[in-house]
Amino acid sequence: MAVARDDRFERFVHLDERSAGFFALGIGRATGMPAAVITTSGTAAANLHPAVIEAFHAEVPLIVLTADRPHRLRAADANQAIDQVRLFGTQVREFHEVAPPSTDEPALRHLRTLAARAVSVAAGPPAGPVHLNFPFAKPLEPVSGPDGDPPGGRPVTREPGGWQEEDPYVRVVRGSRSVPSDAVEHVAKLCRSRRNGIIVVGANAAPDETGMAAGRLAAATGFPLLADPLSGARFGGACKSVIGGYDLFLRDPDIRKRMRPDLILRVGATPTSASLASLFAESTEARQVVIDPGGRWKDHLSVASEYVEADAAEFLQAVSGRLSNAIASDSWRKGWARVEEVTQAEVQTTLSAGLFEGVVVAVAVAGLATDGNLFISNSMPVRDLDAFVAPTDKVVHVYGNRGASGIDGIVSSALGVQVGTGRKTVAVLGDIAMYHDMNGLLAAAKYGLDVSFIVIHNDGGGIFQALPIREHEPEFTSYFLTPHGINFRGVAQLYGIPYWRVTSSQDLGESLEDAMNTEGPAILEVPLDREMSYRRRQDVVSAVAAAVKVELGKGVLA
């Protein structure tokens, strides 16, 4: 009621708390500042848990405000009373049990200080979720007087100490982790002493700044820059040495062996590509440096030889300033560039051979306007983006839920990103991901949010097609693929959202253009055969490996 009556808030109503949580997460991811999500008690609060987990692991700001029953009704068989104290366990930056409502001056000062603390901690660094739990006793309805006075008749004032000041009661200044000069010089020295280094950038909390800083370091060293699609370095022209095809050519063990670096500088989360992670694990003689502002350990393979806790963009910029000439050997730099060139040529041949799942993500990126948003779902879409979309100078803002890599909440997260940025957004997701968060479409229609959803419909969990379990029928189809037979035309009609059914690459491009020229949300359904897409992926991996081995045989890395 307090929020509803305060026009300083921009408010959105969601009927499904899980969708509400991911919607708030999307806003936080896009803006770097927390949105607050409010629920009643019991399972309503528990439904926020998936979004809280994603926010924690992806370092996204989020404030969770849950109502609770008064202390006397807890653990006493009272209705809608569950244990909400530290409900989300270790998956929050902070938890506070808010004191029962009181209007005396010390209580109000404490409440306002707590609010300021919650916003500051959620915003980071490192960013993440903060949970405030509010026990309320009846009457739950407002009982203030006609002039809006709080209970007890204490006047609302704008005097110092009053509770409706425009500025925060306490302004929290959180300094960024300083860049240690000795570590800068140490890493710069490592760069000078290695001729075959690579720079790897994964998803991170500040992709625009980190991506550009990584590009400057790549230019200063001559080292290839391997840019995850969520890194901020893949799109926008960070530098001329961005490598995008690594996921395909590094799947071959022999190629990985030939291309092992002697130095790996890594920023951000572990990249999407499993083959790139294999390169990390196999490069046992390389010095591996992880640069991260802290909050969560980002070296699950335990291969780091140095771990620097500092602002990544500032640190990379500082190292660049210590390097005067390109360091990489000509054969190393030109060899990686040539391998990338032949890889992208094979990818283009595959993309031109007809519609499959890799084509969908490529068309989605091509159809975005410069400075547009792409929200990419987990399972195969993010992997196809990594494998089939080459680096480009076009500025594309890529978002995804890679903290815990779930497929729940994708619809609502994309909607939150659109609200947070104000930019038209394309979301690419699978049919299972759409099914998981169809409830989020209610807000899309209600608020006219400009998100075009491209649903890759292969009637089940297509990612499992690539795993050995696929050989075990009938269990594989029933318990892993889980076909459902849903027609998303009916889903679009249910929510009153414009709908296109797409059956060719050209049709997809034209339909996406029409959808993006339409105000509000849209759904484009792309029915595809999962077995065919699996074969196309396997074919391009084989073709890339063969082409790259020919180049390596010519001695391009010698």
d(CA 555, CA 558): 5
Which pLDDT score is estimated for 506? 95
Decide which of 310, 339, 368 is a domain's last residue. Answer: 339
**pLDDT over 60 at 155, yes or no:** no
**pLDDT over 60 at 361, yes or no:** yes
Which pLDDT score is estimated for 463? 85
215 and 270 co-located in one domain: yes
pLDDT tens for residues 384-439? 999 999 999 999 999 999 999 999 999 999 999 999 999 999 999 999 999 999 99
**pLDDT over 50 at 68, yes or no:** yes
Which pLDDT score is estimated for 165? 52
Residue 153 forms part of a structural domain: no
Residue 447 forms part of a structural domain: yes
Q: Supply the CATH number for residue 122's domain.
A: 3.40.50.970
Backbone angles phi, psi at 89, to 5 degrees: 55, -130
Q: Which residues contact 194 (CB under 8 A, 6 or more apart)?
A: 261, 262, 263, 287, 327
Q: What is the average pLDDT across 295-323?
A: 93
- Taking the CA atoms of 501, 504, 508 and 511 in sequence, report the sign of the dihedral they define: negative
Residue 553 Cα to chain centre, angstroms:
39
d(CA 124, CA 176): 9
Q: Supply the CATH number for residue 222's domain.
A: 3.40.50.1220
325 and 370 co-located in one domain: no
Is there a contact between 533 and 430 (Cβ–Cβ < 8 Å)? no
Residue 262 forms part of a structural domain: yes
Confidence of residue 170 (pLDDT cuts 50, 70, 90): confident
114 and 194 co-located in one domain: no
Among residues 137, 150, 144, 19, which one has the least CA distance to residue 68? Answer: 137
Q: Please return the burial class of 122, using the count of CB atoms within 10 Å of its CB with bins 0-12, 13-18 and 19+.
A: buried
Which pLDDT score is estimated for 144? 60
Q: What is the average pLDDT across 505-529?
A: 96
Residue 44 forms part of a structural domain: yes
DSSP label of 352: T
390 and 329 co-located in one domain: no
**pLDDT over 50 at 154, yes or no:** no
Which pLDDT score is estimated for 141? 82
Q: What does the buried/exposed string (b/e) look like for 321-344 if buried means 16 or more CB atoms within 10 Å of the residue's CB?
A: eebeeebbeeebbebbebbbebbb
Is there a contact between 360 and 427 (Cβ–Cβ < 8 Å)? no
329 and 421 co-located in one domain: no
Share of the chain above pLDDT 90, in %: 79
**pLDDT over 60 at 149, yes or no:** no
280 and 377 co-located in one domain: no
400 and 507 co-located in one domain: yes
Which pLDDT score is estimated for 163? 47
Residue 58 forms part of a structural domain: yes
The helix/strand/coil state of 484 is coil
Q: What is the average pLDDT across 6-35?
A: 96
Residue 172 forms part of a structural domain: no
210 and 285 co-located in one domain: yes
Average pLDDT, the chain: 92
Total residue length of the chain: 558
- Total domains, the chain: 3
Which pLDDT score is estimated for 171? 84
Q: What is the average pLDDT across 239-259?
A: 95
335 and 377 co-located in one domain: no
d(CA 177, CA 164): 33
Is there a contact between 528 and 456 (Cβ–Cβ < 8 Å)? yes
Confidence of residue 177 (pLDDT cuts 50, 70, 90): low
Q: Which domain holds residue 522?
A: 357-527
Among residues 168, 160, 154, 45, which one has the least CA distance to residue 114? Answer: 168
**Higher-confidence residue: 40 or 240?**
40
Among residues 341, 396, 391, which one has the least CA distance to residue 364? Answer: 396
Q: What is the average pLDDT across 483-500?
A: 95
407 and 505 co-located in one domain: yes
Which pLDDT score is estimated for 469? 87
Confidence of residue 312 (pLDDT cuts 50, 70, 90): very high
Decide which of 308, 339, 370 is a domain's last residue. Answer: 339
Six-digit token string for 218? 């790549």
230 and 112 co-located in one domain: no
Which pLDDT score is estimated for 176? 65
Residue 275 forms part of a structural domain: yes
Which pLDDT score is estimated for 158? 43
**pLDDT over 60 at 298, yes or no:** yes
Q: What is the average pLDDT across 18-37?
A: 97
91 and 121 co-located in one domain: yes
DSSP label of 356: -
Residue 494 CB coordination number (10 Å): 13
Q: Which residue has 């009938």 as its token pair?
A: 474
Confidence of residue 26 (pLDDT cuts 50, 70, 90): very high
Residue 513 forms part of a structural domain: yes
Decide which of 102, 135, 168 is a domain's last residue. Answer: 135
Please provide the DSSP assignment of 441-491 as one string: HHHHHHHT--EEEEEEE-SS-GGGGGSGGGGSTTHIIIIII------HHHH
